[in-house]
């Protein structure tokens, strides 16, 4: 049984998928449906001091066996498609059904209390509970497992635009990443001429908006001239500005007897490398295997849960190395002036594609990248002093907010 608090379609952040999502789509049998919803994405581009003004990290150059492309999707359509597909496969799917309490009477006996839109309530008996409540992190919060990431805190302000300038040719579907002094910005092409545009920034910067979300978003986007040149003639759709805060967190454990946390209900990283949907779907696929095995043989449950948790944390750590340092002067220098020494650039592309769990050639290139990063910090002129200032600014950052609703200013 699948319980959905709201009704599809509903807005959700996380519109840029990774190539490593595609094998999961094939396994689910939804590849054609994703293709129909998505904008073809061949890579990601980052600012550079060259004639084009950006470097393209094309997925076709990845080291491993990841697919050479991905898709950008409107999440409300994508999520609705997955929900409908689950129903067509025989899943008992229920919308407008909010979980308000879970009582575990035994390892294979949970009472899930739900409330409907009309405020009526009933209970569901479950042998196994999977919490896929996203950033609400229902079980993790109730069980006091949720931990705010003190190493990396961020908030986002964003909206959907029409009339933004696309990249030319085969780069038209790229996600574009820009930097500014308080964080980084994205441009994600979506179907119907829509462009998702926003900024992820330090929470202390976002606090300066003082209720002026519409003006603040535009003032922020103007801080990068290259991005604004693509956006200055665009129109903000429905004049809607959205805000999300307290991005990064994890949970102390992924599960226990008869329950597990899935996707963002377990942990969430900064979205700079679009890892959220892939980590959630890949983790969910493996969680299903753990649950199936545990229901057949309860003695293997603890070991399988621990093995999956270790794997997911390993992948998140590899993403996190880049995420925590993305706005640092040294990292910005490397992305502006890439070199493929030891095939490290291709290893970075594999990481951007999501292929960072099982490929040892990729893992070794990521280790080499750490050496290059350390060398850059020490040897690039002014980089060391700028790095110290950057780290001090990060250390001063604190934020305790949660999700903020649409701000139609």
**Residue 77 confidence (pLDDT) above 60:** yes
Backbone conformation region of residue 274, classed left if phi is above 0, alpha if psi is from -120 to 50, else beta: left
Euclidean distance between CA atoms 72 and 322, whole angstroms: 22
Model pLDDT for residues 141-151, shown as the tens digit of each residue: 999 999 988 77
pLDDT tens track for 338-385? 989 999 999 999 999 999 898 999 999 999 999 999 988 887 665 445
Q: How much of the chain is in helix, strand and coil states, percent to nearest 5?
A: 45, 25, 30
Find out if CATH 3.30.9.100 is the number for domain 15-71+155-244+327-409: yes
Give mean pLDDT, residues 289-295: 98
Q: Taking the domains of the chain in order of start, what are their residue ranges?
A: 15-71+155-244+327-409, 79-145+251-300
80 alpha-carbon distance from chain centroid: 18
Q: How far is CA 326 from the centre of its chain?
A: 15
The DSSP secondary structure of 350-395, one letter per residue, reads HHHHT--SS-HHHHHHHHHHHHHHHHHHHHSTTHHHHHHHHHHHHH
CB of 177 closer than 8 Å to CB of 265? no
Check residue 201 and give left, alpha or beta (phi > 0: left; psi -120 to 50: alpha): beta
Answer whether 15-71+155-244+327-409 and 79-145+251-300 agree in fold. Answer: no
Across the chain, mean pLDDT equals 91
30-45 burial, b for 16+ CB within 10 Å, e for fewer?
beebbeebbbebbbbb
pLDDT digits 0-9 by tens, 343-354: 999 999 999 999
Residue pair 268/135 in contact (Cβ under 8 Å)? The answer is yes
The predicted-structure confidence for 5-54, as pLDDT tens digits, reads as follows 999 999 988 999 999 999 999 999 999 999 999 999 999 999 999 999 99
Pick the more confident residue, 246 or 165.
165
Q: How many CB atoms lie within 10 A of CB 271?
A: 23
Residue range 79-145+251-300 in CATH 3.50.50.60? yes
pLDDT band at residue 64, thresholds of 50, 70 and 90? confident
């Amino acid at each position: 049984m699948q319980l959905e608090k709201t009704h599809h379609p509903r807005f959700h952040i996380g519109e840029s998928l990774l190539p490593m999502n595609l094998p999961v789509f094939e396994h689910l049998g939804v590849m054609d449906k994703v293709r129909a919803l998505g904008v073809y994405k061949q890579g990601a581009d980052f600012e550079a001091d060259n004639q084009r003004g950006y470097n393209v990290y094309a997925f076709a150059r990845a080291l491993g066996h990841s697919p050479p492309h991905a898709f950008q999707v409107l999440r409300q359509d994508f999520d609705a498609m997955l929900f409908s597909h689950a129903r067509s496969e025989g899943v008992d799917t229920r919308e407008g059904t909010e979980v308000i309490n879970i009582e575990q009477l035994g390892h294979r006996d949970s009472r899930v209390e739900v409330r409907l839109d009309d405020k009526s309530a009933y209970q569901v008996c479950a042998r196994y509970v999977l919490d896929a409540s996203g950033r609400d992190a229902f079980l993790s919060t109730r069980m006091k497992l949720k931990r705010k990431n003190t190493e990396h805190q961020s908030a986002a302000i964003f909206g959907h635009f029409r009339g933004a300038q696309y990249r030319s040719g085969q780069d038209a579907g790229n996600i574009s990443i820009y930097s500014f002094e308080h964080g980084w910005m994205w441009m994600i092409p979506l179907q119907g001429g829509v462009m998702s545009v926003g900024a992820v920034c330090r929470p202390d910067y976002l606090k300066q908006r003082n209720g002026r979300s519409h003006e603040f978003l535009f003032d922020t986007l103007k801080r990068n001239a290259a991005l604004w040149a693509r956006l200055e003639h665009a129109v903000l759709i429905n004049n809607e500005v959205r805000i999300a805060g307290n991005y990064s967190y994890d949970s102390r454990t992924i599960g226990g007897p008869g329950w597990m946390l899935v996707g963002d209900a377990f942990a969430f990283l900064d979205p700079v490398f679009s890892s959220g949907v892939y980590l959630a779907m890949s983790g969910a696929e493996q969680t299903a295997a753990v649950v199936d095995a545990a229901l057949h043989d309860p003695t293997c449950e603890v070991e399988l849960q621990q093995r999956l948790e270790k794997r997911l944390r390993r992948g998140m750590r590899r993403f996190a190395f880049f995420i925590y340092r993305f706005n640092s002067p040294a990292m910005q220098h490397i992305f502006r002036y890439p070199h493929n020494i030891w095939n490290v650039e291709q290893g970075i592309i594999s990481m951007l594609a999501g292929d960072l769990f099982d490929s040892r050639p990729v893992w070794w290139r990521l280790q080499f990248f750490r050496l290059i990063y350390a060398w850059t910090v020490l040897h690039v002129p002014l980089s060391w002093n700028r790095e110290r200032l950057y780290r001090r600014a990060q250390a001063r950052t604190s934020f305790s907010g949660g999700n903020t609703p649409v701000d139609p200013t």
